[in-house]
Structure 1
Amino acid sequence: MTPTISRRHLILAAPVLMTGLGGCAATGGVAASSEGSEAALLQRAKAYWALIRSNDRVGAWAYEELSKDPSATLEAYLKRGGIAFDAVEVRGVKSIEGDRAILNVWARYSLPLLRVRRQESTVEDEWRKIGGVWHHVQRRSSFFPTPE
């Protein structure tokens, strides 16, 4: 049985979906080893958001932390969505602590199913390093439990 998603669910989900955005400008005064990690993070974040903006969710899957979870599937990932991005700009690295990072990302987006157009938001985007490679962390909403 396929769950039905109402217009109200999409309205509630929009801010949660937008929390998945990230940033990409380098910050000054960082040690050389951190600079390499930060540069790699920024490169991956820019590539990821370019794929999302161009609606290439299959390509973006390889950048997702979920892609490393054996219980997650590409099919389930592709069912998430509902946001069309007109523009995305990775604006900076807010913090890097070990294998976790927070980026600042600005986006102009629409929610076509709700006929909501040209919204703008700047959000904190979480990334996690797995096996030495940065991956985007897809935040889950408590309003929409993960299907069993």
Structure 2
Amino acid sequence: MTRPVTRRHFVVTLAAPAVLAVLVGCAATGGAVVSAEDDQAALLARSKAYWTLIQKNDRVGAWAYETLSKDPSATLEGYLKRGGIAFDAVEVRGVRSIDGDRATVSVWMRYSLPLLRVKKQEVVVDDEWRRIDGAWHHVQRRSAMFPTQ
């Protein structure tokens, strides 16, 4: 003997798989959405690691933190040819802004330009970062003289 399908039975039958799919999806992603504080902490950690490598003149290690490393037309060899700046001291001072996948970090640095015999210059810069594949990457400026080009 078949029972007539009630509206309640019909809704429960359709809703149960939908709720299960949502729960499984949350479990697969860890069940948590990245908070603004976590995002800021991840950016600060990547920025500090990057600038530590740069200060130690470990450009090969720093390459993995660069947006250029994600560009198929860029090469590590080309990246290593850039430079000429010796960083005497670097301090990541904090995140100035995060806007979606773009961010700015305040960085104080003391640097020298040995080829030009310029020593111990100090500056605070707004260092640009971009999120690629879920990780923050440093945006290399093309020119210190013309940063927008």
Shorter-chain TM-score bucket reads 0.7 to 0.9
CA apart distance, 1:139:
1.2
Structure 1 equivalent of residue 85 of structure 2: 83
Secondary structure in 1 aligned to 2:35?
helix
Structure 2 equivalent of residue 54 of structure 1: 56
Structure with the larger RCO, 1 or 2 (CA within 8 Å, 6+ apart):
1
CA distance in 2, matches of 1:140, 1:114: 19
CA apart distance, 1:141:
2.6
CA apart distance, 1:103:
0.6
Instruction: Give 2:42's match in structure 1, choosing from 36, 40, 43.
Output: 40
Q: Are 1:138 and 2:130 counterparts?
A: no
RMSD (Å), alpha carbons: 1.5
CA distance in 2, matches of 1:129, 1:137: 10
Q: Which has the larger radius of gyration?
A: 2
Letter in 2 for 1:46: K
CA apart distance, 1:78:
0.3
Structure 2 equivalent of residue 5 of structure 1: none
Structure 2 equivalent of residue 99 of structure 1: 101
CA apart distance, 1:143:
7.0
CA apart distance, 1:48:
0.2
Secondary structure in 2 aligned to 1:140?
coil
Greater than 2 Å deviation, 4+ residue runs: 141-144
CA apart distance, 1:92:
1.1
Q: Structure 1 residues 113 and 142, CA, compared in 2 at 3 Å: closer, same or farther? A: closer
CA distance in 2, matches of 1:142, 1:63: 19
CA distance in 1, matches of 2:55, 2:144: 25
Structure 2 equivalent of residue 118 of structure 1: 120
Secondary structure in 1 aligned to 2:137?
strand
CA distance in 2, matches of 1:106, 1:39: 18
CA distance in 1, matches of 2:144, 2:86: 22
CA apart distance, 1:82:
0.5
Matches within 5 A, 1:14-25: none
CA distance in 2, matches of 1:52, 1:142: 16
Secondary structure in 1 aligned to 2:72?
coil
What TM-score do the two structures reach when normalised by structure 2?
Answer: 0.73
CA distance in 2, matches of 1:108, 1:87: 5
What TM-score do the two structures reach when normalised by structure 1?
Answer: 0.74
Deviations 1:54-110 (A, max 9, x none): 000000000000000000000000000010000000011110000000011000000
